[in-house]
Copies of this chain bind each other. A is one copy, B any other.
């Protein structure tokens, strides 16, 4: 890991960005190829989806939709023990997200003036779930349960089929437990196109959420506007605040849990204690040897592992606020006292018994979080991402007459005469 001695005056946002930057170049070849896929699906519907699935997934499907029998078989394969784990995790996620529900309101603000906000669920959403070797049922739960809590009546999961036309049973079981109303064996950019534009057999959705590879990310970026999207997630990261009162082996284990995700994952430790930093680094080296995903974790630690040695705890917190990490662990004693100082972080894990994996799977808050410093301006996935608001306005004749002149002055200043006339006509006719 690279050590950075933070100077007394701290570091600037620009310096932090240079230290923590990871390339995120978009490939022009990927853009071209995705554009062709989007056009094909938009023009030829199911036929294009079928051909592209044969080309990319190596299987020719008659039906895209997973049947109830396939779901029942998946539940059987997963077994009752893990079904229980899934159900408990689902219930925890549900309980947390229910706190995000907001009620519509419509109140009198001034005499004769009622204003309000109406909350309605998006009527149909798509959840993308990557396939391949690593199946992440936790992501299925995290992306689907908030939609279900929001009251979205139609939730379609899209995931690529294996060569034999099957779907990973853990993904099917998780989608079932989470409340998906349909599951389609369609992946890649073609699934994003089918979700955005609709085909003969797949009705279009209004919003698409979920992580994916570079093709899926590009497809989401390109259909953004036609439909809503959650975010373009970058590689993951963790920031840890700790000092010699923390356990270096545990801190090292948490850094490695992040690093094993991806060669481009980043891990940050900010500590006022150089001795503690040294102990953590030794533990990282030692524990790395035991890991099955050692190669990935080692690359992440080497290229994107940074240790900031700070003057004190406050300066360490400042550094994390500039980094705006996706996950922030506070491992100072009595961690709650530092909450008011945290400005930028996707999720904040407090104390030694709240390691990040507990949030990945189980606690309840969402694990789909803003990455790459975007926690400075965006939020975890939540119920609010599946609900939209309509403003409500109602003026009585008297209330209208009282402000008509001011509204006409505004229209005059902005040079929009028809706006003024729509008001004037009512003032005159209404008499």
Contact = CB atoms under 8 A, between A and B. Distances in A.
Interface string A110-122: 0001110110101
A47 interface: no
Interface string A11-32: 0011000000000100000000
A362 interface: yes
24 contacts: A95-B109, A96-B115, A106-B336, A114-B350, A115-B364, A122-B376, A250-B425, A253-B422, A257-B422, A291-B417, A291-B421, A346-B391, A348-B393, A350-B392, A351-B395, A352-B426, A353-B399, A353-B426, A354-B395, A354-B400, A357-B411, A360-B419, A366-B391, A380-B391
Contact of A393 (B109, B250, B365, B409): B365
A73 interface: no
A40 interface: no
A361 B115 contact: no
Interface residues of A, number: 128
A260 B250 CA distance: 64
Interface in A270-314: 287, 290-293, 297
User: How many copies altogether?
Assistant: 2
Interface of A: 13-14, 24, 81-82, 85, 88-89, 92, 95-96, 99-100, 105-106, 109, 113-115, 117-118, 120, 122-123, 133-138, 170, 198, 204, 206-207, 225, 227-228, 232, 247, 249-250, 253-254, 256-257, 259-261, 287, 290-293, 297, 328, 335-336, 339, 342-366, 369-370, 374-380, 382, 384, 388-397, 399-400, 403, 406-407, 409-411, 413-423, 425-426, 429-430
A113 B257 CA distance: 22
Contact of A377 (B228, B293, B420): B228
Contacts of A417: 260, 291-293
Given A253-B421, A421-B257, A358 B395 contact: yes
B120 A343 contact: yes
A78 to B, nearest CB: 9
A12 to B, nearest CB: 10
A114 to B, nearest CB: 8
Contact of A418 (B206, B227, B257, B374): B257
Contact of A406 (B85, B227, B378, B409): B85
Given A352-B426, A389-B382, A414 B136 contact: yes
Contact of A389 (B250, B380, B409, B421): B380
A10 to B, nearest CB: 15
Q: Which 4 A-B pairs have the closest CB atoms?
A: A365-B391, A228-B377, A353-B400, A350-B394
A383 to B, nearest CB: 11
Nearest to A356: B422
A362 B394 contact: no
Contacts of A120: 342-344
B406 A362 contact: yes
Given A390-B342, A422-B257, A82 B409 contact: yes
B82 A393 contact: no
Contact of A395 (B256, B353, B360, B397): B353
A123 B344 CA distance: 9
Given A115-B96, A421-B287, A377 B407 contact: no
